Structure 1
Amino acid sequence: MESDLAEYLDEFTRRDWETLDPGAVTDPVRVAVVGLGWFARDWALPGIARSPYTEATVVTDVDGSAVEAVAAERDVTGVTPEEFRSGAAADAYDAVYVATPNATHLEYVRAAAEQGKAVLCEKPLEATLDRARRLVEACRDAGVPLMVGYRMQTDPAVRRLRELLDAGVAGDVVHVHATMSQTMLGELGGDTDQWRLDPELSGGSALMDLGVYPLNTIRFVLGADPERVSGRTRSEHEAFADVDEHATFRLEFPGDVDALCTVSQNAQHASRLEVTGTDARLILDPAFYEREDRGFAVVRDGTRVDVDFDQVHQIEEEFAYFGHQLLADEPFHPDGEHALTDARALDGIYKSAETGRPVDLSDDAA
Structure 2
Amino acid sequence: MPNRRKFVSSAATLAAAAQLGPRLFAQGSSTKDRLGFALVGLGRLSTDQLAPAFEKSDRCRLVGIVSGSETKPEEWKKKYDLDSKNIYNYRNFDQIADNPDIDVVYVVLPNAMHEEFVVRSAKAGKHVYCEKPMSVSAQECRQMIDACDGAKVHLGVGYRCQFEPHHLECMRLAREKTFGELRHIEAGFGFPIGDYPVGDLRRWRLEHELAGGGALMDVGIYALQACRYLTGEEPRSVLAREIKTDPVKFAEVDETILWSMDFPGGVVASCSTTYGFGGINKFTATATKGQFGLDPAYSYGGIKGFAGDRPIEAPEIDQFAKEMDAFAKAIQEDKRSKVAGEEGLRDQLVIDAIYESVRTGRRVDVAPQQRSS
Q: TM-score, normalised by structure 1?
A: 0.87
Tell me by how many angstroms 1:48 deviates. Answer: 2.3
Q: Matched residue of 1:243: which SS?
A: coil
State whether residues 128 and 343 of structure 1, in contact with CA within 8 Å, keep that contact through their aligned partners in structure 2.
yes
- For 2:194, the aligned partner's letter is L
State whether residues 187 and 282 of structure 2, in contact with CA within 8 Å, keep that contact through their aligned partners in structure 1.
yes
Q: Which of 53, 64, 79 is equivalent to 2:70?
A: 64
2:324 aligned residue: 319
State whether residues 205 and 244 of structure 1, in contact with CA within 8 Å, keep that contact through their aligned partners in structure 2.
yes
The answer on 1:126 being equivalent to 2:135 is yes
CA distance in 1, matches of 2:291, 2:319: 24
2:118 aligned residue: 109
CA distance in 2, matches of 1:147, 1:153: 12
| Mean CA deviation greater in 234-243 or 274-283 | 234-243
1:42 aligned residue: 48
Percent identity for Structure 1 against Structure 2: 30
State whether residues 32 and 96 of structure 1, in contact with CA within 8 Å, keep that contact through their aligned partners in structure 2.
yes
The answer on 1:201 being equivalent to 2:207 is no
Structure 1 segment 1-366 matched on structure 2, within 5 A? 27-76=33-82, 77-87=86-96, 90-185=99-194, 194-237=203-246, 238-290=248-300, 292-299=301-308, 304-362=309-367
Q: Matched residue of 2:194: which SS?
A: helix
Tell me by how many angstroms 1:115 deviates. Answer: 1.6
User: Could you report, residue by residue, the CA deviation over 1:266-308 in whole angstroms, capped at 9, with x for unpaired residues?
Assistant: 2123310111000110111110121x31101012xxxx11134
CA distance in 1, matches of 2:52, 2:368: 42
State whether residues 122 and 128 of structure 2, in contact with CA within 8 Å, keep that contact through their aligned partners in structure 1.
yes
State whether residues 166 and 312 of structure 2, in contact with CA within 8 Å, keep that contact through their aligned partners in structure 1.
no
User: Could you report, residue by residue, the CA deviation over 1:155-176 in whole angstroms, capped at 9, with x for unpaired residues?
Assistant: 1111111111111112011100
5+ residue gaps, structure 1, are 1-24
User: Could you report, residue by residue, the CA deviation over 1:1-42 in whole angstroms, capped at 9, with x for unpaired residues?
Assistant: xxxxxxxxxxxxxxxxxxxxxxxx973010011111101111
Q: TM-score, normalised by structure 2?
A: 0.85
Higher fraction of helix:
1
CA distance in 2, matches of 1:340, 1:310: 30
2:15 aligned residue: none
CA distance in 2, matches of 1:262, 1:339: 19
State whether residues 157 and 341 of structure 2, in contact with CA within 8 Å, keep that contact through their aligned partners in structure 1.
yes
| Mean CA deviation greater in 236-245 or 94-103 | 236-245
In structure 2, the CA distance between the partners of 1:117 and 1:193, relative to structure 1 (3 Å rule), is closer
Tell me by how many angstroms 1:333 deviates. Answer: 1.1
2:28 aligned residue: none
Higher fraction of strand:
1
CA distance in 2, matches of 1:31, 1:101: 19
5+ residue gaps, structure 2, are 1-30
Tell me by how many angstroms 1:130 deviates. Answer: 2.2
- For 2:75, the aligned partner's letter is A
- For 1:265, the aligned partner's letter is Y
